[in-house]
Structure 1
Amino acid sequence: MSPVLEVRGLVRRYGTTTVLDGVDLTVEEHRVVTLIGSSGSGKSTLLRCVDLLEEVDDGQILLDGVDVSDPRADVAAAQRRMAIVFQAFNLFPHMTAVQNVSLAPRVVHHVPAAEADERAHELLRRVGLERFAGAYPDRLSGGQQQRVAIARALAVQPRLLLLDEITSALDPELVGEVLAIVRELADGGITILMATHEMGFAKQVSDQVCFLDAGRVLESGPPGQVLGDPVHDRTRQFLARVIAAGRLV
């Protein structure tokens, strides 16, 4: 069986600046792969390339063995099989929580309205927000809005869930409630590729951790090895700074 996602020699440039420099990455089904690294190391760009929001300059992105980065590929069809949650919540302010969650299934996937609404309510229950189904985003806390964003991503039943630093815009006291939802999803077997600065969380939920540096995967392996006994000096330097900042538990 082929991996859910396979990235081969991925290159992304902005003008003369190379942001991704030959990235290789594999995500097996029901696994959580976590990207770590300093700001500017290429984590977010890699996630955006995987979701086909960015063009690639070289290399391949294979989703279930199919090269979705091929210029001849049906980008829209590939994107319908993935979902991404960003740092910013990006909820529609004029829609309630349940309307935000049900929108993509109805409009993009042509799910009947009643079925989409039922599924949306179920997902809001799953993320602990059932009683806020009728609330507009400006009535929700940052943590609650991010949980709605996660429910919205799950509403399309993605083959691959991409999470881009989803706690970075939250106040510290709200981080835990969002990470608890991700931990539940991971325990439930959803295939996840995520970027995070929360090293303690990465250690708890990841099957594999990849350290990116200057657009390359410098080190990859089980979280206990990469976070506990890294091979490369650069990884050790990064983790030393993280420990000093109190983000490694």
Structure 2
Amino acid sequence: MTPVLEVAGLVKTYGERVVLRGIDLTVAEHEVVTLIGASGSGKSTLLRCVDLLEDIDDGRILLDGTDVSDPRADDAAARRRMGVVFQSYNLFPHMTALQNVALAPRVVHGVPADDADGRARALLDRVGLDGFAGAYPERLSGGQQQRVAIARALAVQPRLLLLDEITSALDPELVGEVLEIVRELARDGVTILMATHEMGFARQVADRVCFLDEGVVLESGPPEQVLGDPVEERTRRFLARIIAAGRLG
């Protein structure tokens, strides 16, 4: 079966600095793959490359077998098939939660306004915000804003959901409510590629964990292997620091 996402030999540089050094990665249908690693290891850059927000220097990015990184490919069409949630919520402050979620289906995908609003209400309900459709972002907590951002990403019915450290900007007491939404999405079979520093969550939810180090996938496998019995010494040192910080879970 063709993977939903296939990254082959991906290289990304900024000037003389090489950030990604030949990344190979696949994500199968209904699979949850988590990216872990220290700050600067390339996790966010990889996600931005997959979403075609960054030009790549070498390699290929295939979505359902189609090379969307080909310069002749329609970037906008490919991005319409992916949903992405970043560390910051990036909600439009002058729009309600409902309007934020309904915007892309209506404007980008041409969904009639009533249908887009109906889909948005259903998604807000799905993320536990059915009573907040008319609320503006300033009236929502950080966790609520991030849940609106997740609903907005789902509104385009993405083939692949990309999540970039979505709890890193949240107060600790709000982290759990956002991660629970991702757990539910995983149980529902949504295909997810997610960068996270929440190791306990990765252990519980991921089908596969990829440890990035200095722009390469140094180790990849089931959570119990990578997080519980890593092969690489560099992975063991990284996890030892996480344990010392009390974040392994």
What TM-score comes out, normalization by structure 1 length?
1.00
Alignment of 1:129-140 (within 5 A): 129-140=129-140
- Aligned-CA RMSD value: 0.3
Is 1:20 aligned to residue 23 of structure 2? no
| Aligned residue number for residue 81 of structure 1 | 81
Is 1:50 aligned to residue 59 of structure 2? no
Alignment of 1:65-214 (within 5 A): 65-214=65-214
Distance 1:126 1:64 in 2: 27
Q: Which runs of 5+ in 2 are unaligned?
A: none
What TM-score comes out, normalization by structure 2 length?
1.00
Distance 2:142 2:191 in 1: 25
Displacement of 1:163 after TM fit?
A: 0.1
Task: State the identity as a percent.
Answer: 80
Q: Which runs of 5+ in 1 are unaligned?
A: none
Distance 1:216 1:66 in 2: 23
**Once the two structures are superposed, what CA deviation does each residue of 1:144-183 show, in whole Å capped at 9, x if it has no partner?**
0000000000000000000000000000000000000000
1:109 maps to amino acid? H
Distance 1:89 1:244 in 2: 29
The structure 1 segments of at least 4 consecutive aligned residues displaced by more than 4 Å after TM superposition are none
Distance 1:231 1:27 in 2: 22
2:96 maps to amino acid? T
Q: What SS does structure 2 have at the residue aligned with 1:228?
A: coil
Distance 2:65 2:127 in 1: 32
Distance 2:247 2:112 in 1: 44
